[in-house]
Amino acid sequence: MQTRVAEPGDIETIARFNQAMALETENKKLASETILPGVTRLIESTDNGFYLVAEENQVLLGCLGITFEWSDWRNAQFWWIQSVYVDTNNRRRGVFSALYKHVNQLARSEADVCGIRLYVEKENVNAMQTYLALGMVETPYRLMEVEFS
């Protein structure tokens, strides 16, 4: 298994992974006419972030997205892990761990990155255990939002 930064040839698979993840975790259907340009934008313009993929024999096993948040308190960026998905046939094989190690190495190599964050569904105990085992800690923050869609 290898991990790498996603390329334009990965767009359709990542979009399909995102659709599967949204359906699985939130029972939400993501329209192809929205998710395809969204994935394309993140891959073709790294101003907002990037995707990493894990692959084996040129088949994508999983992905995660990184978006950037500027912290004026720290004068540095947090990298947010988003859109995590591992193909159902490849779970429990260390795919996410490999992706996380890759993003951790990349983030630590950047002088203006002060940390990595992610949000997780409260009921997703398995994911939380994985994140804790990889060295992440739960913060005292709660996520609040207003969605415009």
Q: What per-residue confidence (pLDDT) applies to 102?
A: 97
Each of the 149 residues of the chain gets a pLDDT tens digit; together they read 999 999 999 999 999 999 999 999 889 999 999 999 999 999 999 899 999 999 999 999 999 999 999 999 999 999 999 999 999 999 989 999 999 999 999 999 999 999 999 998 888 888 899 999 999 999 998 889 998 96
Domain locations along the chain: 2-133
Q: What per-residue confidence (pLDDT) applies to 40?
A: 97
Q: What per-residue confidence (pLDDT) applies to 97?
A: 95
Q: Which helix (H) or strand (E) holds 101?
A: helix 95-108
CB-CB neighbours of 99 under 10 Å: 23
Instruction: Indicate the pTM of the whole model.
Output: 0.91
Class (C level, CATH) for 2-133: alpha beta
